[in-house]
Structure 1
C-alpha cells in the first residue's frame, strides 16, 4: 500500500498532546447554552486561561474556547479572538493558503475569514459561507462561575479536512489568541503561533459516529458512514436528508471501508471466532478472495500510531480486539475500487468458528454498484447568431436581445450523474450562472443530456464587457461512504464587448 510521503500522526512539540475531537451525533446549535448538552463528552485540552473543546461530524468542526479567566461581562469592548489553521498541514505559513478566523469589529457574533500573507500578516477579511461564531457569557462544564466562551462551527472544507482520507486519520494544526479587557490579558496558544506554524498544536478529528443499531447490517454494519441497510439490491445507497452523509440513489467508488457491526464483532471476538474471509463477485463472474493491505491508527494515549493489516498467506484476515481504540473502529477491510469496471458487485464477508475453515460463525453478502467513471462534459458550441465563436475570440455583442447561445453535453452512461453547472467567470472574482440542474430521485438513474441548447430560447447576454471563462462542471452521484466524489470540468475563454 502506498504511504504518504513525510507523513506521521505525531504531536508537533515534545510532550505537547493533541486535541482529540469526539463525534457530534447531532449538529451543535451554537445559539444554545454550552451547558445544554450538545458539548457533553467533547474532546478537551487545557491552556493557561481555560480549556478548548472539540467535536465534529462529517461536515463541521465544533470548537469552544472556554476562557475561564475572562470573568468581565463587558460586551462592546475590544474582547476578541484569532483562530488559525494550517490549511495544507505542512507546519509552515503558506501565503494565500493558510487561514485565520477573527471577528468583524464590534460584532461579536459575526465571523470573518482571511488568508495568511506571511508571519503576522493577513489579507483582507470576508464572510465564510457556512462557518459561524457565537459568543456566550455563562457557566460551562469547566467552571460554575460565569465567563466568556467563544463557540465555533467551522466547515471542514474550509480548513481542508476530509473524513474520507484513506491513508491517514483526519487532522489539522491550529492555534488561537484570546483577548480580554476586564481583566486585561492577551493569551496566545501556543505562544507566537501566528509567526511560526511549527508551534501549532495538532487537532485529530473523529470519524466514529454512533449509527443507530436498527440501521446497521447484521455483520457489515456500514460502508464508511452509510449503513448497509440503506443500500438497495441494485447496489445504490439512499440516506435520510438529516443523516451525516445524505446521498440519493448513489453508486460507490474510490477507496471503501467496510465497517463491522460492533455488537456482533464483540460477540465473535469473545467467542474466539476471529478469522474471516472477504470475497468479491464481479458482474458476470464468480466469487474470489478480496486481498487488500491497509493501515489503521491505534490510539496510544497520546497519539495515533500506524498499524498495518494484511491477510494471511491463505487470504484470511484476523479480527483485532474491538476494545482497542482505532482511528476507524471495527474496520474489516479497506480496498480501492478505481481499477474495477463499472457494474454491480457482490461482496461477501464470512467469519469462521475458531480455527475452522468450513464451520461458519457469521456471514453477510452485500451488493455495491461500483462506478469510478466521471461524467463526460463538453461545450459543443458557442454561437453568436448563426456564427460559431471560436475559443479566444473577441466578439462584439449588440443591443438586446443580441447575445450568445450554447450547446453543452453532460452525460453519464451508467446513470450516476448528480449535477450540472454551467457558468461564466469574469473580472475580479465575479461569476454568473447560465444553466444548472441537479438530481432528484424522480430522475432514477440519470444519464444527463447531449448537445443541449442553452438557453432554451432567446440569448444569453454578458453582464459587462470583459474577458469571460465559460465553465461546465458535471458531478458524479458516487460516494466513498463519507461524501460524494468525482467530477469533470471543461472551460472555454472568450472576450465579449457590449456595444
Structure 2
C-alpha cells in the first residue's frame, strides 16, 4: 500500500495564556443556575472583573462571563456585553465574516448576532435563525459567594466556524468581549480594544475528548472519532443512540479518520511495557497489509499545546504514546486520510505485541465502509407546460394554476445518501422550498432517485416576479467520526414574471 502523505499542523500559538475548554459530558442547560453543577470542571481564565468559563461538546460552545465585580442588581440592558469571534482565525477583521454577539435592545435574554464590517463597525443585528442563546443570572458562582452579574452562553460551533473534526490541528478560535455595568459603573474590554484590532484576541482551545461510556468502547480500538466501535455494524456503518453527542444513522466513513484506543486498555498496556503495535488494512475482497501513516498531535505543556509528530518504524510498527500526557486527542492509535480509497467495506486491524518482541498479545478488527464519493445532483429539466425552459431565460407565468415543474436527480450508487434539498432563492436573501427528503432507517442504504418529477402533480408557482436561482443539494450519509461530511450542489438561474 502506498505511504500516506505526512500531515502537518500550522496552528498559531499565542504568547498569552489561552482559555482551554473542557468536555461537557452532558449538554449544559444555561437556564439552570450556575451553581447546579453543569459548570463543574469547566475551563477557566481570569480577567480584571471576573472569570471566563468554558465547556463544549460536539455541537456547542458553552461560555460564561462571570462578572464577579458587577454586584449591582440593576435591571434592563444598561448592563450589556459584546462577544466577538474571529471566524476565519486570521487575527484580522474580515468584513461579513467575523461575528459579534450582543443583546437585543430591552431584552436581557435574547441573543443578537451581527457581522463585522471593519474595526468597530458592524452590520446591525441579523435575522438569521440560530440555536445559540444567552441567559443572564444574578447570584453567587463558583468564583464568588457574593451575588453578581453572570452571562451564560450557548454558541453553535458552526456559527463561529469551529469543527471538532479538523485533522491538522486542535480545534480553536480567537475571541474577545466587553462587559458593561451601570452599578458599579465600569466598561471593561478583554483584551483592551479587541473590537478594533483582532491581533489582541485571546485563543480559546476546544476539547474533543468526550467521556464515552466504557461499555460502548471496543476492547482495543475504542472509537473512530466520537463513534464507539461497538456502534459500527458488520457492514461497516455506524448508528449511535438518540441523545448521543452526535447522532448518526447507518453512516459510512470518509475523510481523515482517527482510531482512538480504549483508555483503560491503553493505560494497562503502557504500564506493562507493551507499547509496540501494528495497524493493518484490507480493501474489499483483499488481504491485510500494513497501514503506514504519519500524523501530528498536540500535547499540553501546562500553558499551551506543543506539536508532536508520530510515525511508524522502518518495519511498520508504532509506539503507544504515554496515556498520562494530555494530548489534544488522547489515546490516538492512528490518523489516516481515506480520500484515495475506492468505496467499499474495509477491515482495519490493530495488533499489540508483548514488550519489544514479535509475540502477539492482543488484536482487534473493525469493519469500515469507506465512501468519499458525493451524491450526483442533476437538474434534468425545467418545464413550463410542455416547453423546456433554458438557463438564463425570461419566462412569463400566467394566472394560477400556471407554473413550472422540474425533473431532478439526487443519486448515490453506494447507498449513502442523507438528505436532498431543492429550493429557489430570489430577491434579497429570500428563499422558497420546492422539495426536500431526508434519510430514515426504513430506507436502508438509500441511493435516492433519478429523473424524479417535482412536484408530483400540479405546478410550482413563484412567489413574485424576480430573478430566481434553483438550487439542488444532496448531502452524503458519511462521517469522519465527528460530523457529517460530503455534499454536492448544482443550480440553474431563470427570471420569472408573474402575468
Give the TM-score normalised by the residue count of structure 2: 0.98
Distance in structure 1 (CA, Å) of the matches to 2:407 and 2:106: 50
Q: State the match for 1:115 in structure 2.
A: 115
Aligned CA RMSD, in angstroms, stands at: 0.9
Q: State the match for 2:398 in structure 1.
A: 398
Does residue 372 in structure 1 map to residue 392 in structure 2? Answer: no
SS of 1:193's partner is coil
Change (3 A) 1:4 1:355: closer
Does residue 307 in structure 1 map to residue 341 in structure 2? Answer: no
Distance in structure 1 (CA, Å) of the matches to 2:313 and 2:235: 32
Alignment gaps of 5+ in structure 1: none
Contact kept, 8 Å, 1:9 with 1:304, in 2: the verdict is no
The CA deviation string for residues 357-405 of structure 1, in whole angstroms up to 9 with x for no partner, is 1x22211000000000000010000000000000000000000000000
Give the C-alpha shift of residue 8 in structure 1: 2.9
Contact kept, 8 Å, 1:103 with 1:110, in 2: the verdict is yes
Change (3 A) 1:2 1:348: closer
Alignment of 1:135-174 (within 5 A): 135-174=136-175
Match of 2:13 among 6, 10, 13: 10
Q: State the match for 1:420 in structure 2.
A: 420
Q: State the match for 2:54 in structure 1.
A: 54
Q: State the match for 1:83 in structure 2.
A: 83
The CA deviation string for residues 411-470 of structure 1, in whole angstroms up to 9 with x for no partner, is 000000000000000000000000000000000000100000000000000000000000
Q: State the match for 1:93 in structure 2.
A: 93
Contact kept, 8 Å, 2:423 with 2:472, in 1: the verdict is yes
Distance in structure 2 (CA, Å) of the matches to 1:362 and 1:32: 46
Q: State the match for 2:448 in structure 1.
A: 448
Distance in structure 1 (CA, Å) of the matches to 2:111 and 2:99: 13
The CA deviation string for residues 253-287 of structure 1, in whole angstroms up to 9 with x for no partner, is 00000000000011000111000000001011100
Give the C-alpha shift of residue 126 in structure 1: 2.0
Q: State the match for 1:67 in structure 2.
A: 67
The CA deviation string for residues 105-157 of structure 1, in whole angstroms up to 9 with x for no partner, is 11010000000011101001025511000000010000001000000000000
SS of 1:157's partner is helix
Give the TM-score normalised by the residue count of structure 1: 0.98
Does residue 249 in structure 1 map to residue 250 in structure 2? Answer: yes
Does residue 186 in structure 1 map to residue 183 in structure 2? Answer: no
Contact kept, 8 Å, 2:6 with 2:295, in 1: the verdict is no
Q: State the match for 1:469 in structure 2.
A: 469
Give the C-alpha shift of residue 485 in structure 1: 0.3
Alignment of 1:25-36 (within 5 A): 25-36=25-36
SS of 1:247's partner is coil
Alignment of 1:275-290 (within 5 A): 275-290=276-291
Distance in structure 2 (CA, Å) of the matches to 1:2 and 1:91: 27
Distance in structure 2 (CA, Å) of the matches to 1:77 and 1:353: 65
Distance in structure 2 (CA, Å) of the matches to 1:3 and 1:311: 14
Q: State the match for 1:482 in structure 2.
A: 482
Q: State the match for 2:131 in structure 1.
A: 130
Q: State the match for 1:381 in structure 2.
A: 381
Q: State the match for 1:223 in structure 2.
A: 224
Distance in structure 2 (CA, Å) of the matches to 1:483 and 1:401: 42
Contact kept, 8 Å, 2:77 with 2:108, in 1: the verdict is no
Alignment of 1:287-366 (within 5 A): 287-357=288-358, 359-366=359-366
Change (3 A) 1:2 1:430: farther
Q: State the match for 1:196 in structure 2.
A: 197
Distance in structure 1 (CA, Å) of the matches to 2:8 and 2:426: 37
Contact kept, 8 Å, 1:394 with 1:495, in 2: the verdict is yes
Aligned residue pairs, count? 494
Change (3 A) 1:416 1:77: closer
Distance in structure 2 (CA, Å) of the matches to 1:117 and 1:445: 45
Distance in structure 2 (CA, Å) of the matches to 1:74 and 1:129: 28
Distance in structure 2 (CA, Å) of the matches to 1:326 and 1:86: 24
Distance in structure 2 (CA, Å) of the matches to 1:280 and 1:185: 61
Distance in structure 1 (CA, Å) of the matches to 2:207 and 2:24: 9
Alignment gaps of 5+ in structure 2: none
Distance in structure 2 (CA, Å) of the matches to 1:105 and 1:429: 24
Distance in structure 1 (CA, Å) of the matches to 2:35 and 2:281: 48
Contact kept, 8 Å, 1:403 with 1:462, in 2: the verdict is yes
Distance in structure 2 (CA, Å) of the matches to 1:94 and 1:479: 30
Give the C-alpha shift of residue 9 in structure 1: 4.0
Distance in structure 2 (CA, Å) of the matches to 1:155 and 1:352: 43
Distance in structure 2 (CA, Å) of the matches to 1:115 and 1:409: 36
Contact kept, 8 Å, 1:394 with 1:497, in 2: the verdict is yes
Runs of 4+ in structure 1 off by over 3 angstroms are: 1-5
Distance in structure 2 (CA, Å) of the matches to 1:125 and 1:305: 38
Contact kept, 8 Å, 1:9 with 1:303, in 2: the verdict is no
Change (3 A) 1:77 1:498: closer
Contact kept, 8 Å, 1:275 with 1:355, in 2: the verdict is yes
